[in-house]
């Protein structure tokens, strides 16, 4: 079996005006859908970032896959490195949220290759990763402060959420509709005392739900320590309170709350420094930038070695990504925390049949061969057409925030 050709389809999926410390989500989130066609008719599918930089990297590397045996993932990596010398002319540090372009591109193509392998041997991808250790994978609710609606538009059905009480309401809806147990708040948005109050109110409303907050490095060390002291005993973990390894180590030394990260440890060569400096206790994996699904299980082994916990990061995504995350999570013995997901926010998908449904906050690992999901071409066409008219090729939360507030500036840390 050989790869015949690769099809890349950028899509725009409707998103909500969700706030973070750099601004607000644009009306559309961008993704790239990948289809790899083999000469025996087998098709493997995948999903990756949709920013123009990521798309350029994928487009540049795709021809190198032609003729490859989809089981030969080592050769896939070698071909991508050859096709993208120096990251393919793309500045890796600005390309895809600071992740190595070659890892991002490899990962984007590894998923469809594993889907093909699974289909060829009649096994779900989780079996190619060593088999499932759990049949149900827990996810966490991803809570966001949000505007009522997009700029110039009416309120969406989630309405405005800009206060601690409104956030408790949002959490109640997530818990009642999806059964999520862990609750993660995207912080760094409101002033620190209001976010402390939000977490305390969430604790009162949900006494038995693990709670996390993630300001994406939006706080200074002083602010982070102040907040951590107020939230001792309330959080299961505090994610990326500050920017940089040394700053994380300073905060870690001042609190008993474990620090988690997807900002200071996002490549294998950053683990040693994090351990040496005792900067983090939990690493968020993400197969899109950790170098694929198999590399994510290698990360798990390293975390076990260094006694680090493991959670899973997400960005706005569709069901192909969710299926891939679920297979990886099921095959990761030491996945110690519920995985993040943005899936409920988009509310649309391109997979055939009904979208994924969380039961008690968890997803059952797909058991069909490969990823266990397939593309509904009509839906894909609809969101591909939306990409063409959406007029966005990069995510820019700050620029979009400036439409709401022309005086808004990008400042990290903000508080
Ligand atoms: O945990 C994270 O850093 C994220 O989930 C990244 C996302 O881009 C998140 O900040 C968002 O959706 O605004």
Confidence of residue 99 (pLDDT cuts 50, 70, 90): low
For residues 51 and 156, state if they share a domain.
Answer: no
- Residue 413, helix vs strand vs coil: coil
For residues 248 and 271, state if they share a domain.
Answer: yes
Catalytic residue among 22, 99, 186, 287: 186
Task: Give a yes or no: residue 413 inside a domain.
Answer: no
User: What atom in ligand 1 is closest to the CA of residue 397?
Assistant: 13
pLDDT at 215 over 50: yes
Task: Give a yes or no: residue 211 inside a domain.
Answer: yes
Task: Give a yes or no: residue 348 inside a domain.
Answer: yes
Q: What is the pLDDT of residue 91?
A: 38
pTM: 0.96
Q: Ligand 1 centre and the CA of 314: distance in Å?
A: 7
Task: Give a yes or no: residue 302 inside a domain.
Answer: yes
User: In CATH, what number is assigned to the domain containing residue 8?
Assistant: 3.30.390.10
For residues 219 and 135, state if they share a domain.
Answer: yes
Q: Ligand 1 centre and the CA of 122: distance in Å?
A: 35
Task: Give a yes or no: residue 10 inside a domain.
Answer: yes
What are the structure tokens assigned to 201, written together? 């109110």
pLDDT at 94 over 50: no
For residues 157 and 275, state if they share a domain.
Answer: yes
Least trusted range by pLDDT, from 93-107, 270-284, 327-341, 354-368:
93-107
**Ranges of H-type helices in 231-369:** 245-253, 271-276, 293-305, 319-330, 343-346
User: What atom in ligand 1 is closest to the CA of residue 342?
Assistant: 12
Q: Concatenated DSSP letters for 161-228?
A: B-SHHHHHHHHHHHHHHH---SEEEE-SSS-HHHHHHHHHHHHHH-TTS-EEEE-TT-S-HHHHHHHH
Q: What is the pLDDT of residue 243?
A: 96
For residues 94 and 170, state if they share a domain.
Answer: no
pLDDT greater at residue 108 or residue 54: 108
Q: Pocket residues for ligand 1 (CB within 6 Å)?
A: 18, 20, 186, 214, 216, 262, 313-316
For residues 112 and 156, state if they share a domain.
Answer: no
Task: Give a yes or no: residue 111 inside a domain.
Answer: yes
**Ranges of H-type helices in 45-129:** 52-61, 73-83, 92-95, 101-121, 125-128
Q: Concatenated DSSP letters for 365-383?
A: PP-SSBTS--B-HHHHHHH
For residues 10 and 37, state if they share a domain.
Answer: yes
User: What atom in ligand 1 is closest to the CA of residue 239?
Assistant: 1
pLDDT greater at residue 98 or residue 212: 212
Tokens 């600071």 identify what position? Answer: 98
Catalytic site includes residue 287 = no
Confidence of residue 97 (pLDDT cuts 50, 70, 90): very low
Q: What is the pLDDT of residue 96?
A: 45
User: In CATH, what number is assigned to the domain containing residue 144?
Assistant: 3.20.20.120
Q: Ligand 1 centre and the CA of 261: distance in Å?
A: 11
For residues 223 and 238, state if they share a domain.
Answer: yes
Total number of domains constituting the chain: 2
pLDDT at 95 over 50: no
Average pLDDT over the chain, rounded to an integer: 95
For residues 166 and 111, state if they share a domain.
Answer: no
Protein residue with least CA distance to atom 9, ligand 1: 315
Query: Residue 237 has what DSSP assignment?
Result: E
Task: Give a yes or no: residue 402 inside a domain.
Answer: no
For residues 17 and 142, state if they share a domain.
Answer: no
Task: Give a yes or no: residue 369 inside a domain.
Answer: no
Percent of the chain scoring above 70 in pLDDT: 96
Q: What is the pLDDT of residue 102?
A: 82
Cα separation, 376 vs 355, in Å, equals 11
Catalytic site includes residue 288 = no
For residues 100 and 193, state if they share a domain.
Answer: no
Range of the domain at 120: 3-127+376-390
Closest CA to 280 of 258, 256, 297, 304: 258
For residues 83 and 166, state if they share a domain.
Answer: no
């Amino acid at each position: 079996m050989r790869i015949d050709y690769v099809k890349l389809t950028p899509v725009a999926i409707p998103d909500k005006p969700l706030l973070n410390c750099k601004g607000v989500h644009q009306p559309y989130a961008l993704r790239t859908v990948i289809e790899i066609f083999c000469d025996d008719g087998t098709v493997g599918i995948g999903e990756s970032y949709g920013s123009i930089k990521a798309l350029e990297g994928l487009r540049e590397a795709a021809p190198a896959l032609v003729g490859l045996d989809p089981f030969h993932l080592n050769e896939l990596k070698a071909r991508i490195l050859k096709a993208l010398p120096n990251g393919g002319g793309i500045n890796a540090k600005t390309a895809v949220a600071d992740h190595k372009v070659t890892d991002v591109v490899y990962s984007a193509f590894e998923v469809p290759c594993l889907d093909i392998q699974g289909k060829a041997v009649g096994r779900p991808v989780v079996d190619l990763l060593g088999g499932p250790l759990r049949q149900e994978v827990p996810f966490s609710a991803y809570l966001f402060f949000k505007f009522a609606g997009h700029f110039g538009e009416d309120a969406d059905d989630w309405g405005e959420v800009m206060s601690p009480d409104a956030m408790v309401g949002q959490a109640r809806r997530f818990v009642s509709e999806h059964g999520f147990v862990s609750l993660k708040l995207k912080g760094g948005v409101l002033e620190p005392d209001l976010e402390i109050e939000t977490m305390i109110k969430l604790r009162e409303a949900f006494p038995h739900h693990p709670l996390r907050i993630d300001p994406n490095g939006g706080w200074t060390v002083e602010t982070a320590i102040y907040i951590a002291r107020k939230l001792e005993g309330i959080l299961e973990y505090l994610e990326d309170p500050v920017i940089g390894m040394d700053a994380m180590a300073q905060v870690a030394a001042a609190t008993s709350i474990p620090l988690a990260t997807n900002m200071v440890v996002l490549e294998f060569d950053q683990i040693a420094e994090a351990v040496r400096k005792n900067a983090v206790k939990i690493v968020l994996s993400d197969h899109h930038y950790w170098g694929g699904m198999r590399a994510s299980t290698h990360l798990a082994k390293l975390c076990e070695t260094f006694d680090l916990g493991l959670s899973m990061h997400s960005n706005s995504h569709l069901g192909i990504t969710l299926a891939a995350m679920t297979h990886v999570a099921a095959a990761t013995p030491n996945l110690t925390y519920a995985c993040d997901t943005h899936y409920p926010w988009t509310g649309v998908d391109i997979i055939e049949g009904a979208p994924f449904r969380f039961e008690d906050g968890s997803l059952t690992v797909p058991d069909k061969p490969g990823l266990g999901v397939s593309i509904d071409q009509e839906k894909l066409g609809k969101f591909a057409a939306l990409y063409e008219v959406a007029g966005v090729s990069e995510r820019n939360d700050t620029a979009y925030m400036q439409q709401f507030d022309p005086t808004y500036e990008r400042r990290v840390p903000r508080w």
